[in-house]
Amino acid sequence: MATRREAFDDLVRDVADDLDRVLEAHDLVVEFAVMDFPTDLGRKWAPEVPLARSVPATRSTPARVILFRRPIVARATGRNATVGLVRSVLISEISDLFAIPPEELDAPDDF
């Protein structure tokens, strides 16, 4: 039986795979990572704990989206809600990184 951490990682991987198909159409690459929680909370995050953080691409590394497992799980009310929240957070972060309208990312079949 998978641990909660492994189950969350699998869920993120499934959602990320769906979004990767859309990103490939734009010739974009994003790395996805999961951390339990952000380790560098400061005043800029007050009063809420973030659900994710994105890091723009550099010449040597692709863009990265880091999801924070514990804050996401704490805000979701079950597996379906967790899937929806993970998808929403990833879409929001990718949309901000690449200036792609969220609607384009959320409708991969229309691409």
3-class state of residue 42 by DSSP: coil
In a structure prediction context, what are the per-residue pLDDT tens digits for the chain, which is 111 residues long?
A: 789 999 999 999 999 999 998 899 889 999 999 999 888 766 665 567 889 999 999 999 999 999 999 999 999 999 999 999 999 999 999 999 999 999 988 864 543
Q: Which CATH architecture has domain 4-110?
A: 2-Layer Sandwich (3.30)
Give the Cα separation of 109 and 35 in Å (integer). Answer: 30
Q: Domain boundaries in the chain? A: 4-110
3-class state of residue 85 by DSSP: helix
What is the pTM assigned to this prediction?
Answer: 0.88
Long-range contacts of 12-17 (CB under 8 A, 24+ apart): 12/67, 12/86, 12/90, 15/83, 15/86, 15/87, 15/90, 16/90
